[in-house]
Amino acid sequence: MSLLSRRLLLAALGGAGMTGVALRSVGAADRYDDPRTLYRALADQPGERIDLDGGSIVLVFADGAPGLDRNQVRLWVGMAARAIATYFGHFPIKHYGLLVIAEDSDTVGHGTTFGFAGSATRIHVGRDAAPKAFRNDWILVHEMMHASLPDLPRRALWLQEGNATWLEPIARAQAGELPISDVWSQSLRGMPRGEPMAEEGGMDGTDRWGRLYWGGATFWLEAEVAIWEQSGGRASLVDAMRAVSAASGGNIVTWQPEQMMAIGDHACGVTALEPLYRRFSQDRVATDLGKLFERLGIRSAADGTVTFDPRAELAALAARITRPEAFTKKV
């Protein structure tokens, strides 16, 4: 299954009232469906502690995860943590619990993240998963993004899923774990699915997967542009996200969206996120995606490849989003 169709399938199956996605066959692993059993397993079963700059991970192989290649799993967890640490400047989750459940498949990463009793992710890994499946996995970084930022009320699930959808490939690209062109090709393909249908209004409360994930991602790309323009190119969304993560401590708290926007704006010295959030949450906002990508210098060629025009109006922003070495000094 292609990355995109896998993302769409998982997105369509996303559960209500929690971030993340869950998809698996019925089996012994279902004993961990109840998040209380996840927390109990993290506390009671043998774990491996991974200390990182800024935080730590306790990695627990559920019931010993017989048949699973533990070294492969450790490498994969390390890659995901590196992507997150690259984006935030350090690993931002003080105490992160990761329960890896072995299953009979060759796929990696059907995961769900919780925060009410500590940042924790439950993720399923196939015993027959090849190294390539681990390298190509996006779900663990997506879940760690959720854990790095505050939980939000259900009506704002689009902000959370859009946020992880937008930031996950960026973090991986910044860490050199995903081609930069993939960040943009995914957005070019995905964002049209988030545009409002004729009968749809504001984003708050939406439960259509395309809007939740890609409509939400479009909001965050618009946020990149708004912060960049208002700050005169001195700040972008990463500055807001780092401040939000630091102030909240991650998904162990539930914030109101307005609080998230205020902290982000303050960190960037702008008033960009608050009005943009109000507009997207309450009104039907159709984005001219063609024009937006043109301003960024991102073009889709007929053969499906992505080209970048460094002379475009917002080319410096596009470069800053995916290339951390291009960061300018912050405000």
Q: Which residues bind Zn ion (CB under 5 A)?
A: 19-20, 161, 164
CA distance 84 to 73: 17
CB of 303 to Zn ion, least distance (A): 31
Q: Supply the minimum distance, in Å, between the C-beta of residue 142 and Zn ion.
A: 5
Count of residues making up the chain: 331
Which is closer to Zn ion, CB of 11 or CB of 59? 11
Minimum distance from residue 270 beta carbon to Zn ion (Å): 27
- 299 conformational bin, left if phi > 0, alpha if psi -120 to 50, beta if neither: beta
Nearer to Zn ion by Cβ, of 18 and 270: the residue is: 18
Q: Which is nearer to Zn ion, 20 or 169 (CB)?
A: 20
Q: How far is the CB of 111 from Zn ion (least distance, A)?
A: 8
Contact 103, 24 (CB under 8 A): yes
Cα–Cα dist 272/259, whole Å: 13
Q: How far is the CB of 9 from Zn ion (least distance, A)?
A: 14
H helices of 175-250, where? 180-190, 209, 216-230, 237-248
- Residues whose CB falls within 8 Å of the CB of residue 191, separated by 6 or more in sequence, listed in order: 214, 217, 218, 221, 287, 289
Closer to Zn ion by Cβ: residue 121 or 265: 121
**Distance in angstroms (rounded) separating the CA atoms of residues 185 and 3:** 12
> Which residue lies nearer to Zn ion by CB, 62 or 141?
141
Cβ contacts of 5 within 8 Å, gap of 6 or more: none
What gap in Å lies between CA 316 and CA 239, rounded to an integer?
16
Handedness of CA 63, 111, 174, 247 (dihedral sign): negative
Residue closer to Zn ion, measured from CB, 164 or 217? 164
Q: How far apart are the first and last CA of the chain?
A: 43
* Residue with smaller CB distance to Zn ion, 137 or 161: 161
Cβ 146 to Zn ion, closest distance in Å? 6
Write down the least CB distance from residue 128 to Zn ion, Å. 25
